[in-house]
Each structure stands twice: as C-alpha cells, then as structure tokens.
Amino acid sequence: MAKISGLGQTGQQFCQLFGTTIPFTPEQITALYRNHGAFVSAWGKATKDAVDAGFVVKEDGQLIRVVGVQAGIGK
C-alpha cells in the first residue's frame, strides 16, 4: 500500500505527469486497519464509492472487491 499523489515529481515536463508514490510502513498500515476485516470493509466501501461515482464500471468493481478479500493486509 502507498500514498499516491499527482504532485511532487520534478524533472522535465513529461516526468511531472507521473506524480509520486510513497509506500506505507507496516506501522502505518496497522494504524489504518486493525485487522483484515477492517481492511476489506474499507476497500469495499472505497470500491463502491468509485463505482457509484462512475470512475469504475460495476463489473470491474466486483473483481476489485475480490482482490481486497484476497489481499494479505491485516492477516
């Protein structure tokens, strides 16, 4: 897991399009999700919100929720 931002990249103009990615530490992940169930719940809500907002199609949302359940976060 990581914090992803569209800002913060330096260099040539094209490079600035990529933004930055900062990986979370294990301690940050534990602070965010006390267990696997908490992670799956947050993942499912974020996926539903993305589908409802039209950023993700319903069929892909179903597959994304499966990935959350299969993730090792909080296990």
**What is the tens place of the pLDDT at every residue in 16-58?**
677 788 899 989 999 999 999 999 999 999 999 999 999 999 9
pTM to 2 decimals?
Answer: 0.75
Every domain of the chain and the residues it spans:
23-75
Q: What are phi and psi of 25, to 5 degrees?
A: -80, 160
Q: How far apart are CA 72 and CA 75, in angstroms?
A: 6
Kindly tell me the sign of the dihedral angle through the C-alpha atoms of 10, 26, 75, 48: negative
CA distances from 72 to 20, 44, 75 (A): 24, 15, 6
pLDDT at 5: 77
Q: Which residues of 20-32 are buried (b: 16+ CB within 10 A; e: fewer)?
A: eeeeeeeeeeeee
Q: Tokens in use for 66?
A: 């499966």
